[in-house]
Structure 1
């Protein structure tokens, strides 16, 4: 059963915490990659390439809108 996606906030610590908590509670996590940012480009790249694939699927806002229509 699909559940609501975990959307992130600009702060890297809150988006990581939100995604992890959703994953740990059994939610299907969808990370909207073009709706996230980080003040540190390297930290952002690391999260996108190494952390988020472990927690769920990713996609753009356009892709999410298309799948929700």
Structure 2
């Protein structure tokens, strides 16, 4: 037997293109999403940091950026 009953999702009533409607949508969805508990990062002693290498192209890029070297 074939089921001919087709269900389609209703069209959204208001798509709203402004920031206020987006913030309202987010506020309505917030209770549906649970955030994981924050995990405190433990400090790592410098003696455990070894074998870090930076590619020459990345070092040159950072050296050329005023926020990182001037």
TM-score w.r.t. structure 1 length?
0.21
Which protein shows a greater Rg?
2
What TM-score comes out, normalization by structure 2 length?
0.21
Q: Which of the two has greater helix per residue? A: 1
The structure where strand makes up a greater share of residues is 1
Higher RCO, 1 or 2 (CA under 8 Å, sep at least 6)?
1
